[in-house]
Structure 1
Amino acid sequence: MTHSNNFKQSHTEEEINIREELEKYLRYWPWFVITVLVAIIGAFVYLRLTVPVYNTVASVIIKDEESQGGGGSAEMANFSELGLLGGMGTNSIENEIGLLNSRRLMISTVKALNLNIEYYDAAGVKEDEIYLDAPYLVTLLSVDDALLQHATREGESDFLIKPAQEEGVVELHFLENDKVLRVKLDEIVNLPFATLVVKDNRKFHEATGRLLTSKKSQIVKLKTVEQIADRLRSKVQVNLIDDNATLLEFNLESTVKEKAQDVLDQLIFEYNKEAIEDKNEVANNTARFIDERLQIISQDLDTVEVGLKDFKEDNRLTNIEAESSLIIENASDYRRREQEIGTQLELANSMISYLQDNPENSDLLPANMGLEGEAVNGQIENYNQLVLERNRILSGATERNPAVIRLNSQIEQLRSTILSGLQRTQSNLRIALNDLKRQSNLIGSEIAQVPAKELQFRDISRQQNIKEALYIFLLQKREENSLSLAATAPKAKIVDPAYSLGNPVSPKRNIVLAAALLLGLAIPFLVIYIRRLLNNKIERRDDIEKITRQIPVVGELPRIARGESDLIVENDRSVLAESFRILVTNLQYLLVNAETDGKGYCIYTTSTVKGEGKTFTSINLAMTLANTGKKVVIIGADLRNPQLQRYDNQSKSLLGVSDYLVSNDHTLEKLVHDSKFHPKLKLFLSGSIPPNPSELLRQKKFGQMIAELREQYDYVIVDTAPCMLVADTFLISRYADLILYVTRAGYTEKKLLNFAVDAVKDGKLHDVSFVINDVKTANFGYGNKYGYAYGAEQPSLWERFKKSF
């Protein structure tokens, strides 16, 4: 049961603490409303002035050439059998991503789209790029990159184009130096950094002849191609969608959707264009080799055919084949084999001659020439792939690149290997040919009876067949090579052409408005929190009650607005008057046990330091008591720094307490004067400033003075000196029935409250109660914080708002 009660009590205290903490911030609700409104208005202005940025996306599939060579469609299978799909293969998808991100490809894209010329709307509030919708387009004929880069850095390359009064003439207003240049459309304009032509791009309605575009002027910004390329490279993102696929996605954020789409589409086009050029390089090189060999073989074939014709004419031969068919039938097999080996030997000789005549490693070797032996053909294909890879790297690097050096070494080694292999093949073919010839000689003994002319004819005919077979073979290869050129497909297959998403990626309206709302709430919260965190002054009664519970707080006095009176008058219904009435009511409960023997009460007002409002509290407390019909006298006991005189300038020269204590010639009746504030309120001023105020206050005469005044008045209010600065108040504290310890909100430091607590513990002061002066309306602990003042006019919302801080 006890545990349950403790839990309920702790829960209630926690709830109260949370409510109190919230109230500390909610009392400043006007500031939260204002900052939220300002933040939201600022957010709307930001959204209005900020150009939205959209995300543009495109996707492609990078084809794997090696996998395509093995088949796919029927046509691709046929081409593979013909050897037409050799060439550049994909080493890795990372290399292709690197190529797509290369500066060279982006420079080609910028040049193709003229992106180094930017157009902006001159009439808009925000700087909107209008891309190709500009009323006038600029064409650069020549550019000095160094001068243009300097002009761009200085802002001298930006100019405004406005139509002039004269038809076909525009004005170029240079923004940096305010120079104006009138030029005609479609005529060459010479600038220090470029030569350009301004063309009319305005669209007219055919029927009415009116302009369809509302833009009459524009700002043109000229940049170098490299500047734009570097900027776009940093924005274009190429990402691999899946590690197990070759699907790439392009992303580009831009304020102009059409421009971003053109950039991505052109970038893919430039990539495909370069890939096709690489693929066709081997085919073009093979075509040149075949044409050279066809020219040589054609001349040799003509020579053999002319010799055969002359031989038949000289020897009057008609049908030698029929006459020697029986003999030749036995040797036909050897001749066929001899012909095949001769063809292979001729091809080997041609390839060796080509390698020896072209020693440069940058040249590609003819592929698929029909040489038997998979080793040599595979080496030639690998050689061409290495050369292409080396050339691709050289397009973006130098000869000293480690990758280039490594590839050059591999190419040199492979070239030597190919040459050695061809030479071995040549040697083997010659041996085989010689062997066949020996076999043919053996058969020749069987046909020894055949006339020598027949043998000579067969020799010439054999040479003709070899040349003719080689000629037909090269013609076939040339056609196949032409087909491979015609069948070249793009390397990057477009899955989705560039398209822009509908919603901008920035600024996001909902996020900006939400951030503005949070910022509007956070700013006053942080200001209030930091202000409270750094504030070492008391502000409200809670600040005192947290430090000390031994000394009660009997009153809170409101802050006096500038221009308002700080004195209570008769029938006063102000908040100040109500606060002192509450203070007087609370004093009645504290004085109920005071032993006065029918005499008046003696109340001291003191403070820790100067400026906390002792005198202000004293005189208004006296006025409040006087308004209730009590006889009241105020004693100025601060002999060092008297302050009562400032409320009554005419009494500054009057004698007072110090004069009474110094001399026995003065009586209280002569020194206590009427006040101008109230007929029941008397003033007993401090008098002349003595050199020894502490010694005067130590006298018993001061106590006798208090006792005498208590017999004459209902309340004796004593305005004493600050306790922390001098000991005067401690010397006379025993004569008081109640001591009001005045603190001031926003002025008295919290640590000074410990001085009052220690003074009570040490017995220097007794019957002490705190009074908080100069409290803001928002910080009142009770009653007045709700704005209640009986019979008084309710202050306006603006007045209460101003008093909240």
Structure 2
Amino acid sequence: MADHNLELITSLRADEQRVSMYAFLRDILQNWHLFLIGLIVSVLIAAVYLRYGTPKYLIESSLLIRDDSRGSNFGDAAALENLGLSVTNSSIDNEIEILKSKSLAENVVDALALHVSYFAEGRVKTTELYEKSPFKIVFLDTNIRRNTPAKYQVVFLKDNAFELTRNKRTVFGRFGDTISIDDRAVVLSRTQHVFSGEGKYYLVVENKENSIRKLTAGLSVSAANKFASVINLSINETIPEKGEAILSTLIRHYISNSIDDKNRVADNTLTFIGQNLAQVSSELHKIEGSIEQFRKTNRLLDIEAETRQLIEQASSTSDQYSQFAIKLKIVETIAKYIIDNPTGIIPSSLIQQEANFKELAIKYNDLILLRSKSLVTMNKGHPAILAIENQVTGLRADILSALDIQQKELGISLDAIRRSGQGYQDAISKVPPKQRIYLDYTRQQQIKQELYLFLLKKQVETSISRSSTVPNAKVIDPPNADSNPVTPNRQLVFLVSACFGLGIPMAGLHLSKVLSDKIHDKNSLAQYCRAPVIAEISYQKGAHSRFLQPDGKSLISEQFRTLRANLLFASGLAGCKTILITSGNAGEGKSFVAANLAQSFAMISEKVLLIELDLRKPSLAKYLNVESRGVTDYLLSKSDSDILIQRSGQGQCFDVITSGYPPPNPAELLSTTKFEKLILTLKEKYDHIVIDTPPVGLVTDANTLRSFVDGTLYVVRQNVTGRQQMHDLNKLFIDNRLSNLHVLYNGFQQAGRYYQYYENEEKKGLFFKWKHNFKLTQW
């Protein structure tokens, strides 16, 4: 049983929601003109916005980045490694940050002069000119310190002259001459583009920092996906050519900076080798000159055969001594270079025999390059820079310690070789002193020559490495702008405007229903009213100013017939039927209902009386076009009641008693014995009496007449009667303050098909009547 009740309640709620939805759809159909007007207005606004709005175009480009972790290289790594040269590694994340750096954006702003904009003002909107500007400004002072944009109006004059105005301050000059504006020297020159005599041209100068900030904010740099080493660059600009120039310049400076960073190691190595190569060459040239002079002086042409073997052994020892001496010299030179140049690049390729030193040198060089790159986006006091400097200091100490150990080892080795060669020197001491001096010169020449050849080889290898330098990125797709603007999107704008054009009337209609406290449909009436609804009268324009016709086929005629039948059925009494008509407030159609109900009763009975008892605000006399004498005259004088009765109506007429002139005490007059006798007398003469009373919600006249009537008709009008009045009506019904209370729903917005049906039937009847009269006339 409980499940059945729950299912019934759920079904009722669903039915209520369905009815509410249908009622809302009916309201939308009835107010279709509002939606049509809203749609037309919104579409017109969208068309104007699209016509005069400034479009923005999307400019895109893509770069392939060298990223060894993702397996992308440009084919140069293997060639450089075969030559014994190192290859600098790169990461896609680091390159993205470099592309978004302020230093790179500053290069673009300086190259394209993005802090200066040119505009042409039209009748409706102002357009940026960019490269189509008929003039161009050059600031001789490039340091533009300004927080807010400065706007100058440029007016072209005769004889290649111009007028520059800002804040009512005007400067005159000629194109190509140097002028001063805001204490800055500038040159304004003409371009190849022709200016329009009717147009107004403006020049806007911004602070360079603001231009850099706008560029970095509008630039989008992102990886294509997590597997590929491809970077996508995009920017939105009102001028496609400007956006393409920005991305092209950005890529060009990025590649140039990348090459410069790579060449820095090679340049430092070449500088080191060049300095030492010049010194070794000078020493070698000096030794060779000494040998030449010694041989000329002592006339030495050949070495004796007896000393040949001794010389060969001494030469072998000398070779070993030369190798270790070269190593020691290189180690000492590198140590001195590291001490003198704490931020310089170490030429690690000079000591290939020591693997540990080469590994430390490569790590040290990588940290030096990382510090240089990081300083692009960070200051020296940044924690990341300080951490890198700590690592550099530690590695520098380790390298110097390793070099010191190598020096000691080489010194020990040289001492051992020197002691080993001392025996040969003793043997050679027997050779003539000239031969010994010549051998010393030869040994020194060999050492310097080998060192010279070694440095010369490394210089060639480093030069090859520098000439083979390639950037870390390669352009896949050059900057290109879409042919269609990104904003505004025509389809989206029209769609949104259509939604607003239809949504605003719909929201307004819904809010008017929600916020209004009026009874706006039959569902609201059924929800708030507990009294029975006996009938409904539809609203038709002009219907309230005319009476019903006996043979009328209009919808209102049928509805009053229905009301008449329902009232007769509801009363169920013999004799006179007295019906009181009231409402909760003025303007709800009481007099209209009373007059037409009396006319409807007159169609089936000859004795029908309409009494107007709205003594405070009478209107029935004017509505029925009868004399204004009435009930007030009878109650305040000794006139006969028959004199008050007047004839009104069309076809089957009915009698009318108007209220007369407004009295000072209407409630007391209706409570007199004379009024009671009047009502009883009239009930004996007529079959139906319709009484029009003032609103029961405002005065108590209707409550006074409760004992004289058989039924009460409470008029509720759509969009006029308030919900608060329903509370008063329910209280009247529950307390039974009005006799046999029923509700009449007046001014109902009837569905179109019923109204059209009755309207067509009425027109058809008029047509046949006219046709019949026309035939009789002809006959």
TM range (shorter): 0.7 to 0.9
1:438 aligns with 2:419: yes
Structure 1 residues 509, 346: CA separation in 2 closer, same or farther (over 3 Å shift)? same
Mapped contact 1:573–1:791 kept (Cα < 8 A): no
Alpha-carbon distance in structure 2 between the residues aligned to 1:615 and 1:8: 41
Bigger mean CA deviation after superposition, 181-190 or 696-705: 696-705
Equivalent residue for 1:469, pick from 423, 432, 450 = 450
Q: Measure the CA separation in 1 of the matches of 2:752 and 2:207.
A: 69
Return the letter of the residue paired with 1:740.
L
Q: What is the CA–CA distance in structure 2 between the aligned matches of 1:267 and 1:573, rounded to whole Å?
A: 90
Cα distance in 1, alignment partners of residues 749 and 172 from structure 2: 69
Shift of 1:403: 1.5
Aligned residue for 2:157?
Answer: 164
SS at match of 1:743: strand
Q: Which residue of the other structure, out of 373, 376, 379, is the alignment partner of 1:398?
A: 379
Alpha-carbon distance between aligned partners in 1 of 2:205 and 2:550, rounded to the nearest angstrom: 77
AA aligned opposite 2:264: E
Map 1:263-662 → 2, pairs under 5 A? 263-320=246-303, 324-356=307-339, 358=340, 360-370=341-351, 372-445=353-426, 449-548=430-529, 550-556=531-537, 558=539, 567-568=545-546, 579=556, 582-584=559-561, 586-591=563-568, 594=571, 599=576, 601-622=577-598, 630=606, 632-639=608-615, 642=618, 644=620, 654=629, 656-657=630-631, 660=634
Corresponding residue number in structure 2 for 1:58? 61
* Pair 1:450–1:196, CA change in 2 (3 A): same
Give the Å deviation of 1:735: 2.6
Q: Which amino acid aligns with 1:474?
A: L
Match of 1:185 in 2: 175
Sort the Cα spacing of 1:197 and 1:572 in 2 relative to 1 into closer, same or farther, 3 A: farther
Residue type of the alignment partner of 2:173: V
Does structure 2 conserve the Cα–Cα contact (< 8 Å) formed by 1:119 and 1:221? yes
**Residues 702 and 588 of structure 1, relative CA distance in 2, 3 Å threshold:** farther
Deviation by residue 1:127-150 (Cα, 9 ceiling, x = unmatched): 43332122323323224522x434
Maintained 8 Å contact 1:569/1:677: yes
Q: CA deviation at 1:435?
A: 1.0
Q: Could you say which residue in structure 2 is the equivalent of 1:734?
A: 707
Q: Could you report, residue by residue, the CA deviation over 1:378-412 in whole angstroms, capped at 9, with x for unpaired residues?
A: 22222222122222222333322111211222222
Q: Residue 149 of structure 1 aligns to a residue in which SS?
A: coil
Q: 1:760 aligns with which of 733, 738, 755?
A: 733
Offset of residue 10 of structure 1: 11
Cα separation, partners in 2 of 1:15 and 1:558, compared to 1, 3 Å: closer
SS at match of 2:86: coil
CA separation in 2, counterparts of 1:691 and 1:286?
Answer: 120
| 1:40 and 2:12 aligned | no
CA distance in 2 between counterparts of 1:340 and 1:319 reads: 27
Q: CA deviation at 1:304?
A: 2.0
1:460 Cα shift? Answer: 1.4
Question: Deviation digits for residues 595-641 of structure 1, max 9, x if unmatched?
Answer: 67565x42221112344343343345446666889454432334555
**More displaced 10-residue stretch of structure 1: 366-375 or 223-232:** 366-375
Partner residue of 1:722? 695
Equivalent in the alignment of 2:29: 26
| Alpha carbons of structure 1 residues 9 and 729: separation in structure 2 relative to 1, 3 Å | closer
8 A contact 2:611–2:659 mirrored in 1: yes
Q: Using a 3 Å threshold, how does the CA distance of structure 1 residues 476 and 323 change in structure 2: closer, same or farther?
A: farther
Structure 1 runs not aligned, ≥5 long: 204-210, 795-805
SS in 2 for 1:489: coil
Structure 1 residues 591 and 79 mapped into 2: Cα distance closer, same or farther (>3 Å)? Answer: closer
Q: 1:206-258, CA deviations, whole angstroms, 9 ceiling, x for partnerless residues? A: xxxxx699997643322222211111111111111232443211111222222
Equivalent pair of 1:637/1:686 in contact (CA under 8 Å) = no
Q: CA deviation at 1:101?
A: 0.8
User: Contact 2:555 / 2:755 at 8 angstroms: preserved in 1?
Assistant: no
Q: CA RMSD in A?
A: 4.0
Q: CA deviation at 1:681?
A: 3.6
* Residue pair 1:557, 1:580 contacting (<8 A) in 2 also: no
Contact 1:361 1:411 in 2 (8 A): no
What code does the residue aligned with 1:169 have? A
Structure 1 residue 102: Cα displacement: 0.9
Cα distance in 2 between the residues matched to 1:124 and 1:236: 32
Which secondary structure does the structure 2 equivalent of 1:617 belong to? helix
Tell me: CA distance 1:551–1:320, structure 2 relative to 1, closer, same or farther (3 Å).
same
Q: Against the structure 1 CA distance between its residues 697 and 669, is the aligned structure 2 distance closer, same or farther, given a 3 Å change threshold? A: same
Distance 1:609 1:215 in 2: 67
Residue 222 of structure 1 corresponds to: 205
Over 3 Å counting, the alpha-carbon distance change for 1:78 and 1:738 in structure 2 is closer
Farther off after superposition, 611-620 or 511-520: 611-620
Contact 2:582/2:715, CA 8 A, preserved across alignment: yes
Amino acid aligned to 1:430: G
Secondary structure of the corresponding residue to residue 320 of structure 1: coil
CA 1:723–1:593: 2 relative to 1, 3 Å: closer
Name the CA shift for 1:368/1:684 in 2 (closer, same or farther; >3 Å): closer
- What is the identity percentage for the equivalent residue pairs of Structure 1 and Structure 2? 27
Aligned in 2, Cα 1:38/1:690: closer, same or farther, shift over 3 Å? closer
Cα gap change, 1:741/1:72 in structure 2, threshold over 3 Å: closer, same or farther? closer
Match of 1:689 among 652, 658, 663: 663
CA contact (8 A) 1:268 1:492 kept: no
Are the equivalent residues in 2 in contact too, given 1:143–1:195 (CA < 8 A)? no
Q: Residue 134 of structure 1 aligns with which residue?
A: 133
Write the letter of the residue equivalent to 1:682: V
Task: Give the structure-1-normalised TM-score.
Answer: 0.83
Aligned partners of 1:352, 1:237: CA distance in 2, in Å? Answer: 46
Change (3 A) 1:286 1:764: same
Task: Give yes or no for the alignment of 1:79 onto 2:80.
Answer: yes
CA distance in structure 2 between the partners assigned to 1:183 and 1:305 by the alignment: 72
Deviates more, 1:488-497 or 1:126-135: 126-135
Instruction: Give the direction of change, closer, same or farther, for the CA distance of 1:22–1:558 in structure 2 (3 Å limit).
Output: closer
Which residue type is aligned with residue 164 of structure 1?
A: L
Measured at CA, do residues 619 and 76 of structure 1 come closer, stay the same or move farther in structure 2, by a change above 3 Å?
closer
8 Å Cα contact 1:305-1:464 kept in structure 2: yes
Is the contact between residue 144 and residue 193 of structure 1 (CA under 8 Å) also seen in structure 2?
A: no
State the partner residue of 2:762: 790
Match of 2:772 in 1: none
Aligned partners of 2:394, 2:56: CA distance in 1, in Å?
54
Uncovered stretches (5+) of structure 2, i.e. residues with no partner = 767-779
Per the TM alignment, residue 763 of structure 1 is displaced from its structure 2 partner at its CA by: 3.1
AA partner of residue 258 (structure 1) = E
Q: Structure 2-normalised TM-score?
A: 0.86
Change (3 A) 1:779 1:675: same
Q: What is the Cα deviation at residue 649 of structure 1?
A: 10
Letter of the 1:62 partner, please give it.
Answer: I
Aligned residue for 2:220?
A: 237
| Number of the residue aligned with 1:113 | 112
Contact 2:549 2:557 in 1 (8 A): no
Q: How many residues align?
A: 758
Deviation sequence 1:157-209 (CA, Å, 0-9, x none)? 2434x54343x33444x4x6355544322222321154332333225xxxxxx
One-letter code of the match for 2:151?
S
Q: Please, which moves more after superposition, 38-47 or 302-311?
A: 302-311
User: Superposition pairs for residues 243-258 of structure 1, below 5 Å?
Assistant: 243-258=226-241
Q: Does the CA-based 8 Å contact 2:360-2:399 persist in structure 1? A: yes
- 1:368 is paired with a residue whose SS is helix
The corresponding residue for 1:801 is none
1:659 Cα deviation (Å)? Answer: 6.3
Q: Read off the aligned partner of 1:519 and give its amino acid letter.
A: F
SS of equivalent residue, structure 1 residue 138 = strand
